[in-house]
Amino acid sequence: MQEYNDKRVFTGGRRTMLIMNKVVAGLAKVGISLMGSRVLSVRGRKSGEWRSVPVNLLTVDGERYLVAPRGHVQWVRNLRANTEGRLAIGRRVEVFRAEELADPAKPEILRAYLKKWAWEVGAFFGDDVRADSPTETLLHVAPGFPVFKIHTV
């Protein structure tokens, strides 16, 4: 269900993450959210078919965001091509429009994301990037981690 293009993920870790993704997606499909998890569906930019992947929905100051901790993966490319998507938890489906943030706007969102989910995705950010990293460090890595602000349609 999830794409992996990050060379830092080793075979054993990849297998564990694939299993976790299936578990999180399965729970979200039946209506159980683990710390904000949802199933994101976006139309494929070439096929036009719906593609789904589990994601962590982050809320900061009342605004909601999707962060791509694995970088510029397929769901990110698809969301850039067609900014409308769906977030589901159980039978509740929300249609949204996504707005990609520019790199200078990302540090505080990345910081909040790492505070909440570093235990799950910290390895993708590398050993030098943590929630308490200086803003300069977060700005330096920002181009590698797409962030989308979610607007309900």
Domains of the chain, earliest start first: 11-152 (2.30.110.10)
Q: Which amino acid is at 120?
A: E
pLDDT tens for residues 64-111? 999 999 999 999 999 999 999 999 998 899 999 999 999 999 999 999
The dihedral formed by the CA atoms of 143, 52, 17 and 132, expressed in degrees to the nearest 10 = 40
pLDDT value, residue 13 = 59
Q: Which two tokens stand for residue 56?
A: 């962590």
Mean pLDDT value of segment 22-35: 62
